[in-house]
Amino acid sequence: MGRVAIWIACVLLLAVTCQGKGAPGHRVRVGYYNRKCPAAETIVRAVVGKAVYRNPGLGAGIIRMAFHDCFVQGCDASVLLDPTPANQRPEKLGPPNFPSLRGFEVIDAAKAVLERFCPGVVSCADVIAFAARDSAYFLSGYKIDYKMPAGRFDGRVSLERETLQFLPPPFFNLTQLVDSFKAKNMDEEDLVVLSGAHTIGVSHCSSFTDRLPPNPSDMNPGLTRLLQSKCPISPNFTNDPTVVQDIVTPNRMDNKYYTNVLKRNVLFTSDAALLTSGKTATMVMENAFVPGSWEKKFAKAMVKMAAIELKTAANGEIRRNCRVVNN
C-alpha cells in the first residue's frame, strides 16, 4: 500500500489547481474532470486506498453499493440519501441495503475533500463509480484497473420499495437473474462476470439459510457443516452473523469465486444457479481457468453497469452533501 501514500501526496499538490463550480453533462466520458477538477480521481483513490487498507470489507461494500445504486433509479447516488420527514423510507433502508450495505463513510470522506478543493463540481454518483473501481484496484492487488467515464448527475428520488423491485435477491434462479439484468440492458455474461464480486466481502446468514438443512441443496457438505457451525437455525435481526463469501481468498478479488462455484462452495442460490445452463456454466469455467480473463471482463462490465439510466440536468443535480438533496 505504499502507493497510497504517494497518491495522498499527489492530492495535496494537485488539488490546488481544481477549477471553480460546474455541472457535468449527461454524456459521460473518460477524463471528464481533467479541467474542472484535475485531482478528482486522485482524491477518491487516495481516500479509498486508505479505507481498504484499514478494512478490506469496506472495499467489498463499495463495489456492492455501486451495483445497488445503479440497478435502482440508475447510477445517480440515490442509494446514499438519508431519510427525511418528506421521505422517511429511502433506498438505503430497503431490505437489500439495510443493515448490510456499507462504505457510506468512505464516500462521505472522499466527497468532503472534493468539496474543499472543487466545490459543486464532482457528483456523488461519480464518486461511487470511481470508488468502486478503486476498491477493485486495491482488492485485486492492482490487477483490476480501468478508466471510468464520468459526468453523472445525482438523483433526487430514492424509494425503499424500488430496492425489492429491481435488486435480484440471493434466492433467485437463473431465469429470474437473467431477466433482472436484461431489464437494465445487461446480458448473461454481465451477470456471470459481476457475480464474481462475491469473491470478496461477507454475507449475513439470513441470505443463505434456505440452502442449509433441512432444506435441500447441492452445497458442498464440508461448507454446509462450516456454515451450520456459524449460523443460527433461524437468523433474525438481532442474531444474524456474517461469514466470508469466499472461503479460499476472503480478502482478495480474484477468480477463486468461479472455482468455488464449480466445487459447490458458494453461499447463494444465485451463485449455484450459474451452473444450471450450459451457456453460463461455460462462462464460469472460462473465468475459472483462463488466467486474467475475469479481471478484464469485470472491468468492462463495471463500466457498462455504470452507464445505466443516467440522469440529465433536467432531473439531476450535483449534491453538495451526498446524504441530502440540495435545497
Annotated binding site for heme b: 198
Whether the Cβ atoms of residue 66 and residue 306 lie closer than 8 Å to each other = yes
Residues in the annotated binding site: 69, 72, 74, 76, 78, 91, 168, 198-199, 246, 249, 254
Is position 68 annotated as part of the catalytic site?
yes
- Choose, from 36, 45, 50, 68, the residue flagged as catalytic: 68
8 Å CB contact between 117 and 43? yes
Active site residues: 68
